[in-house]
Structure 1
Amino acid sequence: MEPIGVVVMQGEFLLAEGLRTVLAEADDVVLRGEAGSLQEAEQLVRRHGPDVIVLDVDGVGPDSAATFSACDLGAPDSSIGIVVLAQGHDPESVFGFLSGGAGGKAYVLRDHLQSGEDLLRTVREVHEGRSVLGPRVLDAMIQARHRRRAATLAGLTPREAEVLAHMATGRDNSAIADGLVVSERTVEKHCNAIFGKLGLRDVEHLNRRVAAVLAYLAHSTN
């Protein structure tokens, strides 16, 4: 069985030494190259075609753009796994990193890795197409999602909020129109506005009603 080929991108000497030592101790993992910038990493990916990229975003620049660029590094071969190591956890950066799909990706805080084996386990899981998120990263994402949803629902007009509340009781447009003493066409217009604000415009009709109601109920119970 071929060992898992890894390219490491980092900018700190001590961290590089540590990663090199950890990878060298594994029989099923081999270091294909090291890069100190996104440009170097991109060249190594094209030259060696690694199975997994280990990206230290803090070592090459703490801004979220480095995390987003990690997706581009795997673009030549979508089967390339990406492990992001970070000091902090900006939820928006993580959302951006996972936006193209979470399979074969990991976002882990450095202090979550208690041993070299933790890193190797993450590399192996990503190589197998799994998604790995550190517990604090996942918690931050959940909290950010709640805040996003609350902000989105707060953007509804009073009438739209009223229509959504009626929708949550299981009423169809005709029943909602009767309850609000408006035309069914007016209710449909409000529904479309709600779906648009909740980002559900392209979802199949029945499913977007369900998704809208779930968003409303989740917000109501928080």
Structure 2
Amino acid sequence: MPDPLRVVIADDNYLVREGTRRLLEESGEVTVPVAVGTAGELVDAVTRIRPDAVLTDIRMPGPGTRPDTGPSMAGIDAAHRIRAANPSVGVVVLSQYADEAYAFELFRSGTAGLAYLLKDRVGDVHQLLGALRAVIAGGSVVDPQVVDALVTRRARLRESPLARLTTRETQVLREMAQGHGNARIAEHLSLSESSVEKYVNSIFAKLGLAEQQVHRRVAAVLTYLRDGALRPPR
């Protein structure tokens, strides 16, 4: 029989943390040398213990995370730090959100050794063990509900007129959405005002606003605000 997997658990909820520990250890396939409640404690524990894998909630308090990350991304930030310093340690991130934006953030630098599961999978020990084995082997796992969200997002993006815009046109439209006029946009993007005007007219044409003479700028901004969040983080 192979040696049990050594897994560090991180969750700021004590009952969830200890319940998950008991669930995994009762399988006979996992030992949990330590369970912690913050992202900082998690990173420190991995440095000290060198486990095979980490099972962490996506939301945890600091310290130990970037100031701009906040608790909603603390588990993901810790996952990136752990993988960068310890490439052999697999990380399974648990989230209550079937939100594709979190998956994009987790996998922004690659998928190897990372898994994203919904938190209600905690009760399925076989699925948890499968995800832990996969990340330890350098593989990746994405929750089926998150995959569905990613597919839906791609379909909506293909249907959105924003998909027809170039990167520069999107940048100009983003500036417009912040209430900036052409002169301010030209300054921010290091363009001439005539270039900005050409980009703006191209945006109107691609968004089907070329024939409208009134409120085209407002209509373009409304399209951006409606569909702009569909684009994956850059």
Q: 2:163 aligns with which of 138, 153, 162?
A: 153
Relative distance call for 1:34 and 1:114 in structure 2 (3 A) is closer
Structure 1 residue 121: deviation in Å? 2.2
Matched, 1:118 2:127: yes
- What one-letter code is carried by the residue in structure 1 that aligns with 2:77? F
The runs of 5 or more residues in structure 2 that have no matched partner are 62-69, 168-234
Relative distance call for 1:62 and 1:144 in structure 2 (3 A) is farther
Does the 8 Å CA contact 2:52/2:89 hold for their aligned counterparts? yes
TM-score normalised by L of structure 1 = 0.63
Q: How many residues align?
A: 157
Structure 1 residue 139: deviation in Å? 1.0
Q: SS of 2:85's equivalent? A: coil
| Mean CA deviation greater in 80-89 or 23-32 | 23-32
Matched, 1:140 2:140: no
TM-score normalised by L of structure 2 = 0.60
Q: Distance in 2 between matches of 1:116 and 1:69?
A: 23
Does the 8 Å CA contact 1:84/1:107 hold for their aligned counterparts? yes
Match of 2:100 in 1: 91
Q: SS of 1:54's equivalent? A: strand
Match of 1:25 in 2: 26
Q: Distance in 2 between matches of 1:3 and 1:140?
A: 34
Relative distance call for 1:73 and 1:122 in structure 2 (3 A) is same
Q: SS of 1:73's equivalent? A: helix
Q: Distance in 2 between matches of 1:68 and 1:144?
A: 24
- Aligned residues: percent identity? 32
Q: Cα RMSD (Å) of the superposition?
A: 2.3
Structure 1 residue 136: deviation in Å? 0.6
Q: SS of 1:75's equivalent? A: helix
Over residues 53-98 of structure 1, what are the superposed CA-to-partner deviations in whole Å (9 max), with x where a residue is unaligned? 1011235475235323321122211121110111112212211111
Over residues 6-48 of structure 1, what are the superposed CA-to-partner deviations in whole Å (9 max), with x where a residue is unaligned? 1111011211121111121133321121111111011101001
Q: Distance in 2 between matches of 1:117 and 1:83?
A: 14
The runs of 5 or more residues in structure 1 that have no matched partner are 158-222
Q: SS of 2:33's equivalent? A: strand
Matched, 1:103 2:93: no
Does the 8 Å CA contact 2:39/2:60 hold for their aligned counterparts? no
Over residues 76-132 of structure 1, what are the superposed CA-to-partner deviations in whole Å (9 max), with x where a residue is unaligned? 111211101111122122111112221221111122444223222221222222211
Matched, 1:77 2:78: no
